[in-house]
């Protein structure tokens, strides 16, 4: 009877550990921007919080797309393998009433900054302060490990002569249970 209780307890404990929310821990990052769209774009990561500071010299029109490419390192950060990638219309995500993981991330960011909730985005100074990705916003299929998230903003059609670069961000993070 004690043996059965021990087995059931271990299975229950394993289930609890397996279903706990994951932590997404920002480690470092870098960015580059097109001066046509930004006078300044600065990204800093300190103590697992992300700060952004940007100045747009002119209105950012509709049609801005974003490629979000999430990659995992299988060899301690030496190389990364793509888990998933999505190209989204930034204005559609911002103005959508439908809930999606991307809309949830944006809404979380809006609580820590002054991002517009509509398009086009007028010229001005925009910021994000002390943002962490809440554990309930971390997809449960992300296993613990080292990650790279490449975020590429552009106009036109990606990887063609009609693509116009706007902004790139490379964010390195760790997911832990």
Residue 5 lies in a domain: no
Residue 14 lies in a domain: no
| CA 30 – CA 150 distance, rounded (Å) | 10
In which residue are the tokens 């049609």 written? Answer: 63
Query: pLDDT, tens digit, for every residue of 63-120?
Result: 999 999 999 998 877 899 999 999 999 999 988 888 899 999 999 999 999 998 889 9
Domain that holds residue 152: 22-176
Overall number of domains in the chain: 1
Query: pLDDT, tens digit, for every residue of 29-76?
Result: 999 999 999 999 999 999 999 999 999 999 999 999 999 999 999 887
Q: What average pLDDT does range 1-18 have in this prediction? A: 37
pTM for the structure as a whole: 0.85
Residue 15 lies in a domain: no
Residue 6 lies in a domain: no
What is the reported pLDDT for 47?
A: 96
Residue 1 lies in a domain: no
In contact, 42 and 53? CB cutoff 8 Å: yes
Q: Confidence band (pLDDT; 50, 70, 90) for 126?
A: very high
What is the reported pLDDT for 21?
A: 67
Residue 3 lies in a domain: no
Check residue 51 and report its DSSP letter: E
Q: What CATH code is carried by the domain that includes residue 76?
A: 2.70.220
What is the reported pLDDT for 14?
A: 37
Query: pLDDT, tens digit, for every residue of 137-162?
Result: 999 889 999 999 999 999 999 999 99
What is the reported pLDDT for 97?
A: 80
């Amino acid at each position: 009877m004690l043996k059965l209780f021990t087995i059931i307890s271990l299975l229950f404990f394993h289930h609890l550990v397996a279903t706990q929310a994951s932590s997404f821990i920002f480690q470092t990052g870098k960015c580059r921007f097109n001066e046509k769209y930004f006078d300044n774009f600065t990204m800093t990561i300190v103590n697992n919080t992300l700060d952004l500071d940007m100045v747009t010299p002119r209105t950012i029109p509709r049609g801005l797309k974003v490629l979000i490419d999430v990659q995992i390192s299988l060899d301690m950060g030496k190389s990364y393998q793509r888990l998933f990638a999505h190209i989204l219309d930034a204005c559609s995500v911002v103005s959508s009433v439908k809930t999606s993981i991307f809309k949830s991330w944006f809404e979380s960011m809006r609580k820590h900054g002054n991002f517009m909730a509509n398009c086009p985005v007028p010229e001005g100074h925009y910021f994000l302060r002390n943002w962490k990705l809440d554990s309930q916003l971390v997809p449960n299929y992300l296993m613990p490990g080292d990650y790279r998230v490449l975020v590429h903003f552009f106009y036109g059609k990606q990887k063609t002569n009609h693509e116009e670069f706007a902004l790139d961000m490379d964010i390195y993070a760790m997911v832990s249970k």
